[in-house]
Structure 1
């Protein structure tokens, strides 16, 4: 039996503690907040999308960074295992559109209650209001390799342990305690931190008309994101106009690919600047991009043209501004009329084929200029983290410090919306705890 110390009482930390206790280890979980699962409590707008009930391969398809690293983790504790865990521990689940899995109650508190009850039953010691300051290590051999020997608390107390699971979260929603402490502690033991960026985060938009639509939600929209003319994302779903730009599930997923492309663009421009001897200014951190919205994805341009012609025929004596109500939500109508360039007072039977063609192009390719993303305070997850090449994917044990395990948002892993990021936390946490000898 080993003495296991888990740092962080979020999804990955709690699951790691349970898996370790399940193997008969003596486990202590340290959480700096006043309660466990503070970030779980606010996920999914307080409903908590615990996982996604898709086929196993789809789990990997929805991981944006380092999906191959998760092979052992996902297959060792997959989405079916997660659902079975919560059902068994008194939290019945339901599956909604997009295979998103939620508690039947729609209360994230039931997810936390299930985990807390399981921890208590497993005999895990929980120490709340207990921040960990650093990892304690010692040399493990003549080659200078390190071995974990415990943790030092902010209070100065040193707690000895045979294994430590570091599951402190990333930098998103810092009010929940995700302030990067785990990154710092891992770096102090020699680990590399891949640059952290806010991900699953809303976009800032340049166009002023976008702000006129604040609060308008659109369903069944297709979105394509382009950087330097290259399509980097295409998806279908819901979005929301805000006072600064756009948000909603469709936009949040697009932001994951935006960060990847922006980083590549930054490196490319830095390389070019190095060759010319010039300085590269403002490169990549906020890379400009184009977001094109298809407001009628179920119709081809030709079908949409026929639809508009029918509407015009039914309203042939009306002005343009009064003949397109059936195409858009009421608040979107004046904006689309403005963008069409057609005189709103013009009678529909006077509208030319060219004008109609441009109007269709606006509907099928409504273009917004993305100037950047919101910050970590609005990001659902962190992109970046501890380099996965320094962690054994079969066990989650550090390759640099024996006895140290890393899990969850600590690692350079991120996925799209729909329960996939919590699945990463459950799977990596479970694998870490279960792998401790």
Structure 2
């Protein structure tokens, strides 16, 4: 029986612990927080989008960084395997729009409870409120991980050690970058780190006036001058600082580097199902139906209540003007505004609001089949601490499950 130490009680750490323990090993999991899975608890607005039920091609395509590295892990433990695991352990799941998989209960706590119960059944020894200070290494040329030292000075020997400490995102959950320090102290390279899947700051005052307004079925485009850097269809929301929501978070992965250097232009198509010609016909019909009414009393049928005053203001059309007096040029301005609603992205929010961290332990120094370090025997890495990230939709948790499973198997069989 091998003694395995896992640092971090998040998705990757718990899954690795279950996998290794079920194969008959003594597994100790160390978590510095007072409870397990603090980040899982808040994901998906407390519902936990635990994976995505798409085909494997889309699963691979949804990875933004180091896609090829994940080929072995994803095929070794697929999204269907994840769904089967939770169902087998008594947690029913459901699949929603975009193939996003959630607990049937809509409670992320059920995901954590399922993992906790599976660990207990497998015999994993969980140490809460216990912070790891150092990974103990031997050898200069041929390094080997032999154990850990806790903050209180206690040393714990181990045959294998897994670092699954997460990144910097959502620091309130304890993600303080410990894993990056462990990696660097062991001789690993950590790539440039930045917040990802993160909301945008925008400049316009009228955006703040629409705080709390959600837009569904819109197309969001991000431009650098005339070059389109990102475009997709879906949902977004206005906030007191700018914009957020699935469309915006995914856009952040595509424009992150460019937005560090300069401001970018955002355009929202509020009526993507209509061409400009069709929208003009619709406007004319609404104007005809209320031909003696004022513009402000007709326009509300086309836009959400919070957005109507902004559209009136930006259109340049007097709110008191009778609609039968609106010129073709004014109508054209309103059409352009509807199809290309303008915002200016001035930057991204910080790690406290980022779902994940972009960057991490260089995967060039990690075995993609086992998650073991190529530099230090017996040292493994899994989950967000690695230089791996994906778009929203359950894909980042799938990275955690798959890499955690690969590491758990490899440590058990090493």
Q: 1:303 aligns with which of 278, 288, 295?
A: 278
1:254 aligns with 2:229: no
Aligned to 2:213: 216
Q: Deviations over 1:139-169 (max 9, x none)?
A: 17xxx13111111111111111111110000
Q: How far apart are 1:176 and its partner, in Å?
A: 1.0
Aligned to 1:94: 94
Paired residues in the alignment total: 412
Comparing 78-87 with 335-344, greater Cα deviation is found at 335-344
Does the CA-based 8 Å contact 1:215-1:242 persist in structure 2?
yes
Instruction: Tell me the SS of whatever aligns to 1:6.
Output: strand
Instruction: Tell me the SS of whatever aligns to 1:342.
Output: coil
1:124 aligns with 2:124: yes
Q: How far apart are 1:187 and its partner, in Å?
A: 0.7
RMSD between aligned residues: 1.3
Comparing 288-297 with 230-239, greater Cα deviation is found at 230-239
1:388 aligns with 2:385: no
**Partners of 1:358 and 1:164 in 2: CA distance:** 62
Q: How far apart are 1:201 and its partner, in Å?
A: 1.2
Mark the CA change 1:391 to 1:245 in structure 2 (over 3 Å): closer, same or farther.
Answer: same
Q: How far apart are 1:334 and its partner, in Å?
A: 1.0
Instruction: Tell me the SS of whatever aligns to 2:300.
Output: coil
5+ residue gaps in structure 1? 263-283
Q: 1:170 aligns with which of 129, 147, 167?
A: 167
Alignment of 1:184-223 (within 5 A): 184-223=181-220
Q: How far apart are 1:58 and its partner, in Å?
A: 1.0
Q: Deviations over 1:11-55 (max 9, x none)?
A: 000011111123222211111111111111111111111111111
Alignment of 1:264-343 (within 5 A): 284=260, 287-343=262-318
**Partners of 1:413 and 1:259 in 2: CA distance:** 15
**Partners of 1:231 and 1:400 in 2: CA distance:** 41
Aligned to 2:180: 183
Instruction: Tell me the SS of whatever aligns to 1:385.
Output: coil
Aligned to 2:69: 69
Alignment of 1:342-353 (within 5 A): 342-353=317-328
**Partners of 2:358 and 2:408 in 1: CA distance:** 24
**Partners of 1:39 and 1:198 in 2: CA distance:** 15
Q: Deviations over 1:250-290 (max 9, x none)?
A: 1111111121444xxxxxxxxxxxxxxxxxxxxx3x63111
1:237 aligns with 2:237: no
**Partners of 1:353 and 1:400 in 2: CA distance:** 69
User: Normalised by the size of structure 1, how large is the TM-score?
Assistant: 0.92
Q: How far apart are 1:294 and its partner, in Å?
A: 0.4
**Partners of 2:257 and 2:373 in 1: CA distance:** 25
Aligned to 2:136: 136
Aligned to 1:276: none
Q: How far apart are 1:382 and its partner, in Å?
A: 0.9
Q: 1:147 aligns with which of 124, 136, 144?
A: 144
**Partners of 2:3 and 2:62 in 1: CA distance:** 36
User: Normalised by the size of structure 2, how large is the TM-score?
Assistant: 0.97
Does the CA-based 8 Å contact 1:232-1:261 persist in structure 2?
no
Aligned to 2:375: 400
Q: How far apart are 1:366 and its partner, in Å?
A: 0.5
Instruction: Tell me the SS of whatever aligns to 2:301.
Output: coil
**Partners of 2:60 and 2:316 in 1: CA distance:** 45
